[in-house]
Chains A and B, each alone.
Chain A
Amino acid sequence: MSGKTLDQAALKKTGMMRQVQPDYYVMRLKAVGGDMNVLQLARIVEVAEKYGRGHVHLSTRQGIEIHYVNKDNLEAARVELAEAGVEMGACGPRVRSVVACPGAETCRLGVIDTKAMSREFDARYFKQDMPAKFKLAVTGCSSNCTKANENDIGVRGAIEPRWVADECTDCGLCVSICPLEAIGRRDGDDGQGSDYHYAIDEAACINCTICTSLCPTGAWAVGRKGHTVLIGGTMGRKPRFASVLKRIVESDEEVYALVDASISWYRDNGLKKERFGHTIDRVGLEKCKEEIIGKAVSGKD
């Protein structure tokens, strides 16, 4: 490859970025949900030694980057990585690698199968062109280890707690332990035949599992279980925390319909290099949510 003929935009699309040092590039590798097997890791080591400078960089989005690859070796390195199933990541205005926490498969706090959902997101959207960079994250619960609020689209495992009078000993632990102080004790029957009841302030509740997992007697049961879909988060120069599009979405299919509709809406409304969240702010959150949910319900892309 000659330096004069290298198409930087095309290289970025395949996860290769020019370094400060002339003729040297970063190779950004894809790791969906931060997962790689040992054979892939071994091949990355080989390639980093052969074509790089024998070290790798762990990115903030759970990926691995090989630095200091000479422009003349980029294709050979890519082929050798691909032989072991290591795919290139993405840079530029498109969908980036999907990040995810371990989720319900191994984490005791996990509510949803984050790995399966991140793989599905990857299959559906990875590298698709967008008005600006576009990041998706899946996090298993409200502990939010994958920082769903900082992504253009975040999906967070969520439960809706339900108080069961027959199991309650009135110990009051739930009131003390709720991190959002969303639980209160009230006098009077709530319809379950008790002279008191515990109630949740739904606006304050973040749908975590603290009350359901720590109630000593199981009086806080999991009612509905699903996903909270967040839109418009970004860090960078103009940070914006994501907004809730919809809480407790129970089916995976509805999550995918909402994400499809969000991406479609952003493509229709986003300006070049304008992040999704800033498009939402320019258009108006309520209008955006209404249109996205409308698109998702009608199935129109």
Chain B
Amino acid sequence: MGKQYQGKIESVDLRGVSCPVNAIMAKRAIEVLGEDEHIRLLLDAGESLIRAVRSIKDAGYHIVKSEPLDNAVAIVAGKGKTACRP
């Protein structure tokens, strides 16, 4: 994708974790971040991803980047309001 996210970030692998647990764990992982921090979440593609992303968005968090993997997707998310424009 065109714009690059700066900085090294931690990853949480939620592949194989079913709904709604993957969404709850994703929100928890974001919850403990600082305002300018981000985390990389690995999620199964498909309905699992849709539900997790809806949960993240409902919680007021932001996704700044997405990268397709084999049957999965890596998203970079953060809690700060400025996070959506890296």
Indicate with 1 or 0, residue by residue over A161-186, a CB within 8 angstroms of chain B CB atoms: 00000000111110111010000010
How close is B59's CB to chain A, nearest CB, in angstroms? 12
Asked if B14 is at the interface (CB within 8 A of a chain A CB), the reply is: no
Asked if B85 is at the interface (CB within 8 A of a chain A CB), the reply is: yes
Considering only CB atoms and an 8 Å cut-off, how many residues of chain A contact the other chain?
17
A177-B65 in contact (CB<8A): no
B50-A170 in contact (CB<8A): no
* CA A241 to CA B67, docked complex, whole Å: 35
The stretch of A74-82, A95-103, A209-217, A257-265 that contacts the partner chain:
A209-217
Tell me the A96-142 residues at the B interface (CB within 8 Å). Answer: none
Q: Which of B3, B46, B54 contacts A179 (CB 8 A)?
A: B46
Tell me the A207-257 residues at the B interface (CB within 8 Å). Answer: 210, 213-214, 216-217
* CA A92 to CA B57, docked complex, whole Å: 48
Closest to A109 in B: B54
Considering only CB atoms and an 8 Å cut-off, how many residues of chain B contact the other chain?
23
Closest to A173 in B: B66
A171-B46 in contact (CB<8A): no
B3-A169 in contact (CB<8A): yes
Asked if B75 is at the interface (CB within 8 A of a chain A CB), the reply is: yes
* CA A217 to CA B65, docked complex, whole Å: 12
B84-A216 in contact (CB<8A): yes
Beyond A173-B63, A173-B75, whether A214 also contacts B53 by CB under 8 A is yes
* CA A93 to CA B14, docked complex, whole Å: 52
Beyond A169-B84, A185-B1, A216-B84, whether A176 also contacts B66 by CB under 8 A is yes
- Residues of A within 8 Å of B50, CB to CB, are 177, 179, 210, 214
Q: Which of A175, A195, A217 contacts B84 (CB 8 A)?
A: A217
* CA A214 to CA B52, docked complex, whole Å: 10
Closest to A214 in B: B53
Closest to B63 in A: A216
B67-A177 in contact (CB<8A): no
Closest to B62 in A: A216
B64-A216 in contact (CB<8A): yes
Beyond A171-B66, A175-B68, whether A213 also contacts B54 by CB under 8 A is yes
- Residues of A within 8 Å of B67, CB to CB, are 172, 176
* CA A216 to CA B68, docked complex, whole Å: 17
Tell me the B26-48 residues at the A interface (CB within 8 Å). Answer: 45-47
Using CB atoms and an 8 Å cutoff, list the residues of chain B in contact with chain A. 1-3, 45-47, 49-50, 53-54, 57, 62-68, 73, 75, 84-86
Q: Can you show 17 pairs from A to B with CB atoms below 8 A apart?
A: A170-B1, A170-B2, A171-B1, A171-B66, A171-B84, A172-B65, A172-B66, A175-B66, A176-B67, A176-B68, A177-B49, A177-B66, A177-B73, A179-B47, A179-B50, A210-B50, A216-B62
